[in-house]
């Protein structure tokens, strides 16, 4: 029996082209979630279509297959959808203030398109323009802070190198300037118009968020910074709502039946649990800090949502009033 899903075979051929070591049957099983026998049929189908495939032997006699560099020629040229996705990513990065990433993506896309034949380059250019015109990401208005290119570049270098930095930083709320503050940078967080650096503060001996727009000077140090053992960025972020970091609360949001279907289409928190109640309303539960940002967000739902917050540290209801965010 032959394997005949063309898109899977093409993807596997591209994997063989892109791997210097080649791919094994176990790689095929894992990537395509298929049985051993199906993986063998897939390998045979590609090998029959492309006899130039090389077979290599690895440890314990395991077999690997790959294409010699350049074997697939124009088959590996990106599609219009893939190019559009690249431009969309660049637009999102620029909109959120990550100018360094946006510039790098745009340079990459120019290089990719320069490799096309002239006739395809003209066709792609016209189609791409039309596709981007219909793409709301590139043109959606919204406020964002302006951050100096050299600030972003230096922070990215420090994060990749894993070294401490010395900074002059102006606090957002008080406008107080702190000089020669030593930080261990972990990650830059972009989104919602304001951009932040998550870093370990030597002075406070704890993880803190620093507004990227507040950095007035950054210099790299030679001392290596080691993240706290077992630290996981996604787990850390999941304890917050937005960028606010504070004592987590058990949160219950009840969306009334009139908006329950609409609310069901949102993921409000990565660890949320939802429940449809008998009256048709939707209950959303999760644990996180950042009540102020939650209230700002829930205000858009008006009187169609009831919010309840339970202070975990006191194990008592902090607020059980209906339409908790009215008037905010």
**Interval 256-305: pLDDT, tens:** 999 999 999 888 887 899 999 999 999 999 988 878 778 878 888 999 99
* Residue 109 clears pLDDT 50, i.e. is over it: yes
- The closest of 156, 213, 208 to 181, measured between CA atoms, is 208
Domain's final residue, options 19, 41, 73: 73
Per-residue pLDDT band for 29 (boundaries 50, 70, 90) equals very high
Given this model, what pLDDT does residue 140 score?
A: 47
For helices 36-49 and 6-18, what crossing angle results, to 10°?
80
Given this model, what pLDDT does residue 248 score?
A: 80
Most distant CA atoms of the chain, gap in Å = 72
CA 73/CA 321 separation, integer angstroms:
65
**Interval 117-160: pLDDT, tens:** 777 777 777 777 666 655 555 444 455 567 788 888 899 888 88
Given this model, what pLDDT does residue 252 score?
A: 94
**Interval 162-215: pLDDT, tens:** 899 999 999 877 888 999 999 999 988 776 556 788 899 999 888 888 988 899
Place of tokens 């959120």: 96
CA 213/CA 315 separation, integer angstroms:
37
Calculate mean pLDDT across residues 235-261: 80
Given this model, what pLDDT does residue 327 score?
A: 30
Cα angle 304, 306, 307 (rounded to 5 degrees) comes to 135
Q: What is the DSSP string of 255-271?
A: E-HHHHHHHTT---STT
* Residue 324 clears pLDDT 70, i.e. is over it: no
Per-residue pLDDT band for 311 (boundaries 50, 70, 90) equals confident
286 contacts 251 by C-beta, under 8 angstroms: yes
Calculate mean pLDDT across residues 308-317: 63
Residue 241 within any structural domain of the chain: no
283 contacts 274 by C-beta, under 8 angstroms: yes
Residue 272 within any structural domain of the chain: yes
Same domain, residue pair 62 and 116:
no
Same domain, residue pair 85 and 65:
no
Same domain, residue pair 69 and 81:
no
Same domain, residue pair 84 and 96:
yes
Given this model, what pLDDT does residue 325 score?
A: 33
Given this model, what pLDDT does residue 77 score?
A: 67
Residue 239 within any structural domain of the chain: no
* Residue 310 clears pLDDT 70, i.e. is over it: yes
In the structure encoding, which two tokens stand for residue 232, read together?
């996981």
Domain hosting residue 218, numbered range: 149-232
**Interval 72-87: pLDDT, tens:** 555 556 777 788 888 8
Which range has the worst mean pLDDT, 4-8, 57-61, 285-289?
Answer: 4-8
Given this model, what pLDDT does residue 144 score?
A: 59
Same domain, residue pair 300 and 256:
yes
* Residue 218 clears pLDDT 90, i.e. is over it: yes
- The closest of 28, 30, 34, 35 to 14, measured between CA atoms, is 28
CA 138/CA 318 separation, integer angstroms:
42
Q: What is the CATH number of the domain that holds 13?
A: 1.10.10.10
13 contacts 46 by C-beta, under 8 angstroms: yes
| H helices present in the chain, as ranges | 6-18, 25-32, 36-49, 80-95, 99-114, 118-133, 136-139, 149-161, 233-237, 257-263, 291-298
Q: Residue 135 burial (CB < 10 Å; 0-12/13-18/19+)?
A: middle
Residue 120 within any structural domain of the chain: yes
* Residue 1 clears pLDDT 50, i.e. is over it: no
How many domains does the chain divide into? 4
Given this model, what pLDDT does residue 75 score?
A: 55
Q: What is the pTM of this model?
A: 0.50
């Amino acid at each position: 029996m032959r394997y005949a899903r063309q898109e899977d075979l093409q993807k596997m051929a591209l994997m063989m082209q892109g791997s210097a070591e080649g791919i094994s049957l176990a790689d095929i099983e894992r990537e395509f979630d298929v049985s051993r026998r199906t993986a063998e049929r897939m390998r045979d189908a590609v090998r029959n279509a492309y006899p130039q495939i090389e077979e290599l032997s690895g440890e314990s006699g395991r077999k690997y297959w790959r294409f010699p560099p350049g074997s697939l020629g124009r088959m590996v040229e990106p599609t219009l959808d893939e190019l559009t996705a690249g431009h969309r990513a660049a637009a999102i990065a620029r909109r959120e203030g990550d100018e360094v990433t946006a510039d790098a993506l745009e340079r990459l896309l120019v290089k990719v398109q320069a490799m096309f034949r002239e006739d395809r380059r003209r066709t792609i250019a016209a189609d791409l323009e039309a596709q981007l015109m219909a793409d709301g990401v590139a043109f959606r208005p919204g406020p964002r802070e302006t951050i100096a290119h050299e600030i972003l570049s230096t922070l990215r270098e420090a994060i990749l190198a894993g070294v401490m930095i010395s900074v002059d930083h102006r606090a957002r709320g008080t406008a107080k300037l702190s000089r020669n503050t030593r930080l261990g940078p972990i990650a830059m967080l972009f989104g919602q118009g304001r951009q932040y650096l998550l870093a370990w503060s030597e002075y406070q001996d704890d993880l803190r968020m620093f507004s990227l727009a507040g950095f007035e000077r950054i210099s790299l140090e030679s001392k290596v910074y080691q993240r706290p053992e077992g630290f996981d960025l996604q787990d850390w972020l999941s304890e917050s709502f937005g960028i606010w970091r504070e004592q987590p609360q058990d949160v219950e949001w009840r969306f009334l039946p009139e908006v329950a279907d609409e609310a069901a289409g949102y993921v409000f928190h990565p660890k949320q649990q939802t429940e449809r109640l008998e009256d048709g309303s939707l209950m959303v539960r999760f644990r996180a800090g950042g009540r102020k940002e939650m209230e700002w967000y829930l205000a858009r739902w008006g009187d169609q949502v009831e919010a309840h917050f339970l202070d975990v540290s006191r194990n008592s209801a902090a607020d059980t009033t209906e339409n908790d965010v009215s008037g905010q």
